[in-house]
A and B are shown apart, each in its own frame.
Chain A
């Protein structure tokens, strides 16, 4: 998800201009192995960049943003990706409340769409929610206590102090973007701080769930999509304390167009995930193994030799006859000339389905697999999985977009690769 958000966030920007890639999450698949490097590779960023995973707190999103803002003052461009897939115990309130989501922002000091006016951080070792290393689910202390003694008090302090720094008052803000475990705490606390209902950026938890570390960032994305030049936005995160950041939209925000918007994701949402499949995807039950050989992980040498193909979907193009081909070849498939290839990135090109099948036989987390032959504008093709699509809607010639997804986990290694999804307007 973080990759998808990052690719959308980069939009037309050149990944070579990024000096750093940060990834904020509380649900990294690894305790040792960075996510930011994986995202950077998928973005086709340079090698000589700073990368960092900000983890272990719901506040990691703003920790990453503040670090990126500091770097921006030095003229550095940073992409901050936030993604979370927090898990509540089965049959519990958290399970219904939580959602999975991601957002990404690029920070720099040229042509910015919003400036940071001020920031205030406060750190308190207050674990009202936690998930230990050996645990699968998030746990929390009684919500009444947590909001009264923790959340409300910390948010009040952070907001009061950052307003003092800027000399601004609640009325000066177009929106307050405020994290809360539950929407009702958000609206109540914002009201107590002196913000009117129309100033509160909607948490949309009832539509997409509480997406943890990505919740406030998604709200910020919504706010930025609607913002006009001069609008002030107050961003407040929460988790072992608070970060409050005051942003002001610049004139450049008029030309800014998110693609896709949060709204487009909501509009193309599917509501037919069956609970059993949810449990399977979240690894919460032991399912009957299929009578097929075990999936093996990729051998690291092979995987690394194919770095650009696997992460950034590079193929090659023959400089003699101009035929793009995937995967990269040394002998041209069309003219058979040897070693006359240039690199050629397939990500971002128009693509459609040539033929397909719904395979009820292969093992997968998401049976049956929809297998498609995809052809690209300009030439080249690949065979891959089709996702986020109803069986009845699959048609030869339908347009698709590329999406970076999990293939499988084997021997503790999570392998991702490119699949396709039906193309909607923005996504």
Chain B
């Protein structure tokens, strides 16, 4: 029996999010408290009102990392990790925690300190435990999408560069309007196209999301209890996650132009959330723009663009802040960087701000439905998550 969903059963009643950045003088404790204090103020609750915690972090270990910072007295704290879906995973499990009736109010909190490592980028996991697989990281893996996409859809190389540059341009332009982003500056298309090459034939520095520290959290309760805390909770429509079987890297037939896990799950998530036409029904989409080429493929995987047209939509501005459907209106991973455990929850924070008319220069006109998507892994094998939230019931 497949996933039945928990549409409208649980609601968010408070959120907090730190400034994402190279927070060299900020400790893990400082990051956690910055986000938690905001969420508590926002919800009107005290820390002791939270019955259970789900703490997502890729690099930290064990629940005691959080409990010792917050001094929670013998409360359940689960450390969650699912690659880059860790934040979404924490949120998802926190939702089930209250939906089950086991807890009254719970918190999902994601935190990552990326900037202490002393080297650029993330460590590369080795595919085979015996260390005989080639060593490469995100940039090389996602760069593989470029020649394949061009080959399949007959896209000229310069058009592909253009399409990718437009993604980076859009996300920086959006981030420039976000006081919590790592990068808050517009960058011209020319500078983007001139940025140093990392992985040929085409993936440059400007095609990559940043590296930053950050923390974001959400306080969740059952929808029937939400009005006790505020008149305007954010309703959770779906919290879905899939883990791919990895058959794309074992069997031929995968064409390196899509993230199958996302493409497979999207129709189900939309159905569970009651969405018929995502471009019409959704008001904002936060998707996992680890790299600009990823965003282009995800337009198609999330059914926002026709297959083979993602690149065209990027150049045409379909997804800019004032376009048909704003994608990554808060600046995305591009402007925020990607503190792995925090990103999924940061994405939901934008919907939270938008539904409460707190999005400043980015404010949309009466938005009602928002989507947050993450993927953790490589185009041919990942975990993928879709969380859909709404301003209203139904």
Residues in A lying within 8 Å of B, measured CB to CB: 290-293, 295-299, 302-303, 305-306, 309-310, 323, 325-327, 329, 333-334, 354-364, 368-369, 371, 373, 375, 379-381, 383-385, 391, 396, 407, 415, 417
Question: Would you call A363 and B135 a contact (CB within 8 A)?
Answer: yes
6 A-B pairs with CB atoms under 8 Å apart are A290-B119, A292-B121, A292-B123, A299-B130, A333-B247, A380-B250
Within B213-267, the residues touching A (CB, 8 Å) are 245-247, 249-252, 256
In chain B, positions 113-140 with a C-beta closer than 8 Å to chain A are 118-121, 123-124, 127-137, 139-140
Q: A384-B134, A396-B151, A415-B131 are in contact. Are A358 and B200 (CB under 8 A)?
A: yes
The A-contacting residues of B in range 127-180, CB under 8 angstroms, are 127-137, 139-140, 143-148, 151
Are B250 and A358 in contact, CB atoms less than 8 angstroms apart?
no
Selected contact of A305 from candidates B130, B145, B197, B247, CB within 8 Å? B130
Contact between chains at B139 and A323 (CB < 8 Å): no
Q: A302's closest neighbor in chain B, by CB?
A: B130
Given contacts A292-B119, A327-B128, A357-B143, contact A396 B148 (CB under 8 A): yes
Q: Is the CB of A355 within 8 A of B148?
A: yes
A-B pairs with the 7 shortest C-beta distances?
A358-B200, A359-B140, A333-B250, A357-B143, A302-B130, A291-B119, A333-B247
Contact between chains at A381 and B151 (CB < 8 Å): no
Closest to A306 in B: B130
Q: A369-B136, A371-B140, A373-B256 are in contact. List 12 more A-B contacts (CB 8 A).
A: A296-B131, A303-B130, A356-B147, A358-B200, A359-B143, A359-B198, A361-B121, A361-B198, A362-B136, A371-B136, A380-B250, A407-B132
Q: How far is the CA of A293 from the CA of B147 in the complex (A)?
A: 29
Q: Which of B127, B135, B256 contacts A362 (CB 8 A)?
A: B135
Least Cβ distance of A41 to chain B in Å?
13
Indicate if B95 sits at the interface (CB-CB under 8 A): no
B contact residues around A357 at 8 Å (CB): 140, 143-144, 146-147, 199-201, 203
Chain A proximity of B131: nearest CB distance (Å): 4
CB-contact partner of B250 in A292, A297, A310, A326, under 8 A: A326
> Are the CB atoms of B135 and A295 closer together than 8 Å?
yes
B156 to chain A, nearest CB (A): 15
> Known contacts A333-B251, A358-B199, A359-B143: does B256 contact A310 (CB below 8 Å)?
no
Contact of B119 with A298 in the complex, beta carbons under 8 Å = no
In the bound complex, residues from chain B placing their C-beta under 8 Å from that of A306 are: 128, 130, 132
* Contact indicator A361/B139 (Cβ below 8 Å): yes
Q: Indicate if the CB atoms of B247 and A355 lie closer than 8 Å.
A: no
- Greatest chain A CB density within 10 A among B120, B129, B132 is at B132
User: Is the CB–CB distance between A371 and B134 below 8 Å?
Assistant: yes
- The residue on B at minimum CB distance from A386 is B134
Tell which of B137, B139, B147, B250 touches A355, judged by Cβ atoms closer than 8 Å. B147
Nearest chain B CB to A382 CB, angstrom units? 8
In the complex, the answer to whether B130 meets A298 with C-beta atoms within 8 Å is yes
Contact call B128/A373, Cβ cutoff below 8 A: no
Chain B residues with CB under 8 A of A369: 134-136, 140
Establish whether residues B144 and A355, one from each chain, have CB atoms under 8 Å apart when the complex forms. yes
Residues of A within 8 A of B151 (CB): 355, 396
The B contact surface, by secondary structure, is loop
Q: Are A362 and B252 CB-contacts (below 8 A) given A357-B201, A396-B148?
A: no
CB distance from B118 to the nearest CB of A (A): 7
* Contact of A415 with B250 in the complex, beta carbons under 8 Å: no
> Across the interface, do B249 and A383 meet the contact criterion of CB distance under 8 Å?
yes
Min CB distance A163 to B, Å, is: 51
A32 to B131, CA, bound (A): 22
**Chain A residues within an 8 Å CB radius of B147:** 355-357, 396
Identify the closest chain A residue to B256 (Cβ).
A355
Complex CA–CA separation, A391 to B197 (angstroms): 14
A383 x B251 contact (CB < 8 A):
no
Q: How far is the CA of A323 from the CA of B132 in the complex (A)?
A: 23
Rounded to whole Å, the gap between the CB of B247 and the closest CB of chain A is 4
Q: Are B251 and A298 in contact (CB under 8 A)?
A: no
Is the Cβ of A364 less than 8 Å from the Cβ of B130? no
Residues of the A chain whose Cβ atoms lie less than 8 Å from the Cβ of B127: 383
Give complex CA distance A298, B146 in Å: 32
A290-B123 Cα distance, complex, nearest whole Å? 13
Chain B neighbourhood of A302, CB < 8 A: 128-131
Please give the distance in Å from B259's CB to the nearest CB on chain A. 14
- Shortest CB distance B134–A (Å): 5
Residues of A within 8 A of B134 (CB): 362, 369, 371, 383-385
Set of chain B residues within 8 Å of A309, measured between Cβ atoms? 132
- Check B200 against A323 for contact (C-beta < 8 Å): no
Known: A359-B140, A384-B134. A293 touches B123 (CB 8 A): yes
Closest to B131 in A: A298
A375 touching B252 in the complex, CB below 8 Å, given contacts A359-B136, A361-B137, A396-B147: yes
Chain B contacts for A375, CB-based, 8 A? 252
Contacts of A373 in B (CB 8 A): 144, 256
Q: Please, which residues of chain A bring their CB within 8 A of the CB of B131?
A: 296-299, 302-303, 407, 415
Binary CB contact string for chain B from 197 to 211 against chain A (1 if under 8 A, 0 otherwise): 111110100000000
Q: In the complex, what residues of B have CB within 8 A of residue A368's CB?
A: 200
- Give Cα A378–Cα B198 distance, bound, in whole angstroms: 34
Specify which chain B residues have a CB less than 8 angstroms from the CB of A325 in the assembled complex.
250-251
Q: Are B118 and A291 in contact (CB under 8 A)?
A: yes
Interface contact A364-B250, CB-CB below 8 Å = no
Closest approach, in angstroms, between the C-beta of A43 and any C-beta of chain B? 18
**Contact assessment for B256 and A354 in the assembled complex, using a CB-CB cutoff below 8 Å:** yes
Known contacts A298-B131, A299-B130, A362-B140; decide if A380 and B123 are in contact (CB<8 Å). no
Q: Let me know if A334 and B252 touch, CB within 8 A.
A: no
Complex: A371 Cα to B146 Cα, angstroms: 13
Residues of B within 8 A of A385 (CB): 134
Residues of B with C-beta under 8 A to A295: 135
A415 to B121, CA, bound (A): 25
Whether A329 and B250, one on each chain, are in contact in the complex, defined by CB atoms closer than 8 angstroms, is yes
**Cα-based distance from A86 to B131 in the complex (angstroms):** 28
Known: A303-B132, A355-B148, A379-B252. A360 touches B200 (CB 8 A): yes
Chain B's closest residue to A410 (CB) is B131
Which residues on the A side are within 8 Å of B129 (C-beta)? 299, 302
Q: How far is the CA of A364 from the CA of B136 in the complex (A)?
A: 10
Question: B140 to nearest A CB, angstroms?
Answer: 4
CA distance A417 to B133 in the complex (A): 8
Specify which of A296, A334, A363 is in contact with B251 (CB 8 Å cutoff).
A334
